[in-house]
Amino acid sequence: MLKIITVLGARPQFIKAAAVSRIINTSYLGLIKEIIVHTGQHYDSNMSKIFFDELEIPNPNYNLAISGGSHGSMTGRMLEAIEKVLKDEKPDWLMVYGDTNSTLSAALAAVKLHIPVAHVEAGLRSFNKKMPEEINRIICDRISSLHLCPTDISVANLAAEGISDSVYNVGDVMYDSTLYFQNISKKKSRIFDELNLSVGSFILSTCHRAENTDDPKRLTEIISSLRELAKKIRVIFPLHPRTRKKIHAYGLSTDLVGVTVVDPLSFFDMLSLIQGAKLILTDSGGIQKEAFFCKVPCLTMRDESEWTETISLGVNVLVGADKSRIIENFKKLQSGSWVCNFTTMPYGKGNASRKVVQKLFNRK
Ligand code: UD1
């Protein structure tokens, strides 16, 4: 039996892994044994446990309870703890997702033990090395044995870095998760009633990137934009713990008057809101794409995006942390002069997770 260790730690990874674990536990039952290691990077119940429950991810076999501290400290502690698990379990593969500190530390631990690494969501680049995620991706791709890319552009990014062996465009596993849970979430979520919302009558906004939260000027501008928008339309703002801490530290809490601030939401609530929003305003990578999958226009509060396909298609616009660009684009949408066409699908056919598992299994 093929033994895979999957290391997870942060919210978006739970969503990606759910799709892949489901294939392993249905189509490959008895052929593949998956051992799940949760680093603990995200630990609040509404950032972690609720995702395991809703997405039906098997309980982690190991919970390392490592979170917080500086990037170096977090990554170092994870590296040490994951190495121990890998030595004990001796898997055939390590599988990691995306670009978090959990991804990097697991990949490093495995490669030093000569355990091959399969990187799901390989080849994404923002070309901004100040982002911790960009460093994590570049290093993880450099040391991986199997690169499971979501798009043609991510394959080309790797080729430009001289990585062309074991590179496959399998499509985007997040698309699989969206397709699978789109209707389930609408049926199960009560969030529209709880917040007294109707479809198309609100903006959904999220903000958690260090480049926005750790820069008082950018965060002040973003909060001011939300407040301005909230004078025209309901703005729902699920608050990430990092952002909550910074808003408090910069004394910006009262500036959120008029904005509907809520705790981080479950996956079902979030996916329901994304589907019903008039507009998404976010700095998240995953939400940009979920907006696209659900055919909702998106403004991205960053200066670059890894998901350049959505930008080229004109359904996602980079607005930085710039209030005037945010308001201007909202007005364009309201007046009907920003028309979105969602007919092209660059993220595969919704069978990415099956292809991921096939690639791993066929190389055993
Ligand atoms: C991390 C990832 C990012 C991903 C994001 C999803 C890195 C470098 N970044 O950023 O790629 O898009 O997760 O959310 O790995 N905290 C809590 N409760 C929690 C989790 C975190 O209070 O459940 C606190 C932490 O203690 C820390 C802050 O929130 O003070 C930020 O958490 P951290 O894990 O450092 O990074 P994220 O901003 O979530």
- State the SS3 of 80-110: HHHHHHHHHHCCCEEEEECCCHHHHHHHHHH
Average pLDDT over residues 38-56: 96
Residue nearest to atom 2 of ligand 1 (CA): 100
Catalytic residue among 38, 147, 208, 240: 208
Residues with CB under 6 A from ligand 1: 10-12, 41-44, 47, 67-68, 99-101, 132-133, 208, 241-242
State the sign of the Cα–Cα–Cα–Cα dihedral 15, 72, 139, 211: positive
At 237, list the tokens: 């703002």
Is residue 364's pLDDT more than 80? no
Compute, in angstroms, the gap from residue 354 CA to the centroid of ligand 1. 29
DSSP letter at 42 equals S
- Sheet with 316-318: strands ordered across: 260-262, 234-238, 202-206, 279-282, 298-300, 316-318
- Ligand 1 mutation target, pool 14, 67, 101, most atoms within 8 A of CB: 67
Q: Cα-atom radius of gyration of the chain, to the nearest Å?
A: 20
Q: What is the pLDDT of residue 363?
A: 83
Instruction: Give the ligand 1 atom nearest the CA of 47.
Output: 23
Q: What percentage of the chain reaches a pLDDT higher than 90?
A: 99
Q: What is the pLDDT of residue 48?
A: 96
Is residue 124's pLDDT more than 70? yes
Q: What percentage of the chain reaches a pLDDT higher than 70?
A: 100
Enter the pTM of the model: 0.95
Instruction: Give the ligand 1 atom nearest the CA of 68.
Output: 26
Residue nearest to atom 19 of ligand 1 (CA): 42
Compute, in angstroms, the gap from residue 31 CA to the centroid of ligand 1. 34
Residue nearest to atom 16 of ligand 1 (CA): 241
Q: What is the pLDDT of residue 45?
A: 95
Average pLDDT over residues 189-214: 98
Compute, in angstroms, the gap from residue 93 CA to the centroid of ligand 1. 26
Residue with tokens 């009633």: 193
Whole-angstrom Cα distance, residue 242 to residue 240? 5
* Mean of per-residue pLDDT scores for the chain: 97
Give exposure, 234-263, as e/b (b: 16+ Cβ within 10 Å): bbbbbbbeebbebbeebebeebbeebbeee
Q: What is the pLDDT of residue 32?
A: 98
Report residue 320: phi and psi, to 5°: 55, -150
Compute, in angstroms, the gap from residue 252 CA to the centroid of ligand 1. 20
Is 119 assigned a catalytic role?
Answer: no
Residue nearest to atom 11 of ligand 1 (CA): 100
